[in-house]
Amino acid sequence: MTKRSKQNIFALITIFLWASAFPLTKIAMEHYTPNALGFIRCTIAAIFLCILCRVHHIKLPPKKDIPWFFLSGGLGFTLYMIAFNFGMQTLTSATSSIIIATTPILTAVAASKLYGEKISKIGWGAIVMAFVGVIVLMLWDGIFSINIGLIWILFAAIIFCSYNLLIRRFVLKGYSSLQIVTYSMTCGAVLLAIFSPQGVNQIMTAGVKQILVVMYLAILASAMAYLFWNKAMAMADKTSDVTNYIFAVPLLSTVMGFIFLKEIPNYGVLIGGTMIIISLIIFNSKGQEKE
């Protein structure tokens, strides 16, 4: 199996896990508050990852890099989870997915400035086509909503863009995927500890369903998803090779919304989803060619 094939598989697994976080976060917040959910999810994920590091005999990072990992954890986990959870309180899953889908565009533009990564005209065309597909998918029945949640989710997209750029920095310094996600997640959990009283109280009163949901969000949608994402980013020649897969999240979220929340998909799923899939194929085959 080629490096590119492995990269694509890791990215696809990640996107599937992240897409499941949309409907499951809605279910989780029937019991948990946004800040408490962020603390619980990040802390359980950090503990799980630390155990993996212990098994693989991975040591602590050099002291000079710890502030960078606190920055990474603060962006990718602390602030992102808070912003995402607050946004999901007041926005539809559709609107949230559209805003998060701006991340590849933000990352591609930023990476082109910071790391000199070039995207061909075909690549930019594929990005635009995918984003239009997201809009078609999510606005087919005119369900776009605008409120304070829009600001929170846009903030989350910008934060995640910054996290992707930091991953690139750690990869270039020689850190493994497991090291990056463990150090960052642990720092994120430390920063979220301010909400630990709420988190402990709420998980103590949670039912079996709410405990299972938060365990899934923590171990699979957080720890394993970010680990696979970092592996894909480490293998990629350019950040946009991987971040473009985020465009597929709304399509998968719509399907999962039907399964978990009984939301009925419409023709927009067929049309928008087809556009997204075609754009991914075009981008991965032609979008990275130098002009």
Q: What is the pLDDT of residues 111-146, one digit of tens each?
A: 777 777 777 888 788 888 888 887 786 677 665 555
Among 19-28, 80-89, 137-146, which stretch is predicted with the lowest mean pLDDT?
Answer: 137-146
Shortest CA distance to 144 belongs to which of 210, 96, 191?
96
Question: Measured on CA atoms in the order 46, 49, 54, 59, is the torsion positive or negative?
Answer: negative
Residue with the bigger pLDDT between 57 and 281: it is 57
| C-alpha dist (Å) from residue 229 to 18, 46, 183, 198 | 10, 16, 15, 30
Distance CA 223, CA 216 (A): 10
| Residue 103 lies inside a defined structural domain of this protein | yes
Q: What share of the chain is helix, strand, coil (3-state, %, to 5)?
A: 80, 0, 20
Report d(CA 85, CA 169) in Å as an integer.
Answer: 27
Query: What share of the chain has pLDDT > 90, as a percent?
Result: 42
Query: Both tokens of residue 113?
Result: 């400035």
Rounded to whole angstroms, how far apart are CA atoms 37 and 41?
6
Helix (H) or strand (E) holding 168: helix 148-172
Predicted local confidence at residue 265, as pLDDT: 66
Residue 172 domain flag: yes
Residue 145 pLDDT: 55
Range of the domain at 237: 3-286
Q: What is the mean pLDDT of residues 86-106?
A: 78
Is position 208 within any domain? yes
pLDDT at 216: 97
Residue 191 lies in a domain: yes
pLDDT the model gives residue 291: 44
Confidence band of 39 (pLDDT split at 50, 70, 90): very high
Give the total number of structural domains in the chain: 1
Q: What is the mean pLDDT of residues 145-155?
A: 78
User: Per the domain annotation, does 291 fall within a domain?
Assistant: no
Question: Is residue 9 predicted with pLDDT exceeding 90?
Answer: yes
The count of residues in the chain is 291
Tokens of 108: 């591609």
Q: What angle do CA 150, 214, 243 make, to 5 degrees?
A: 50
Percentage of residues in the chain having pLDDT higher than 70: 93
Supply the mean pLDDT for the chain.
85
Q: Can you give the C-alpha Rg of the chain in angstroms? A: 18
Q: Indicate the pLDDT class of residue 288, thresholds 50, 70 and 90.
A: low
